[in-house]
């Protein structure tokens, strides 16, 4: 089937004092380990490309680490830097935030099943689509990155312009990310 995953783990973590969020432990594992584990549970053998830092990843398995250019250029720049490291034969690419400790293999499996010709994005209970929990036909993602031009400081939502994504309902809490000390405390309490 040819599945790859891009995990964005390159932000400054300013609201957490500059601590690398994906390396923080939640429920006995780093957030990055939890995200990678959800990928491996949904798509065993999937190649994982981390845009940013792999700090906190205990089992690198088949991972590649790239850095966005310029460093801290934003999520869009991270995707643009990671995509060339994705196997050209990959049919579908998961695009995931590295600060989402409650992602589940079941949600990622549903996204992969829905991303046939259009991207599939997780939808929270309020109806918001989350581009950092999505699955993309690789050809569509590559075409959108090329069409966007220079990636620095482009919002990730630029990928969605005219994309007509499929919405996949996420379980309660699955899309919660860790941006603040309060978010981290909540994630640890709920783990």
Predicted confidence pLDDT, tens digits, the chain (191 residues): 599 999 999 877 777 777 889 999 999 999 999 999 999 999 999 999 999 999 999 988 779 999 987 787 889 999 999 999 999 999 999 999 999 999 999 999 999 999 999 999 999 999 999 999 999 999 999 999 998 888 877 888 888 888 899 999 999 999 999 999 999 999 999 98
Q: What domains, with CATH codes, occur in the chain?
A: 3-190 (3.90.550.10)
Short-list 107, 128, 119, 94, CA closest to 170: 107
**Can you tell me the distance from the alpha carbon of 144 to that of 171, in angstroms, rounded to the nearest whole number?**
28
Q: Where are the beta strands (DSSP E) in the chain?
A: 3-9, 25-26, 29-30, 47-52, 63-66, 92-97, 120-123, 129-137, 166-169
pTM for the full predicted model: 0.94
Long-range contacts of 16-21 (CB under 8 A, 24+ apart): 16/178, 16/179, 16/180, 16/181, 16/184, 20/53, 20/55, 20/56, 21/98, 21/99, 21/178, 21/179
**Can you tell me the distance from the alpha carbon of 137 to that of 115, in angstroms, rounded to the nearest whole number?**
6
């Amino acid at each position: 089937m040819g599945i790859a995953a891009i995990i964005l783990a390159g932000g400054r973590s300013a609201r957490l004092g500059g601590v690398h969020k994906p390396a923080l432990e939640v429920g006995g594992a780093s957030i990055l380990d939890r995200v990678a584990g959800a990928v491996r549970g949904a798509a065993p053998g999937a190649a994982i490309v981390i845009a940013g830092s792999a700090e906190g990843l205990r089992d690198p398995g088949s991972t590649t680490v790239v850095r966005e250019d310029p460093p801290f250029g934003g999520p869009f720049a991270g995707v643009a830097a990671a995509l060339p490291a994705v196997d050209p034969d990959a049919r579908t690419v998961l695009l995931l935030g590295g600060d989402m400790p409650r992602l589940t293999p079941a949600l990622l499996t549903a996204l992969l099943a829905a991303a046939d010709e259009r991207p599939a994005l997780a939808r929270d209970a309020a109806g918001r689509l989350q581009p950092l929990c999505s699955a993309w036909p690789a050809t569509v993602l590559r075409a959108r990155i090329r069409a966007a031009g220079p990636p620095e400081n482009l919002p990730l939502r630029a990928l969605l312009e005219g994309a007509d994504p499929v919405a996949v309902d996420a379980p309660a809490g699955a899309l919660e990310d860790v941006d603040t000390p309060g978010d981290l405390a909540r994630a640890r309490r709920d783990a």
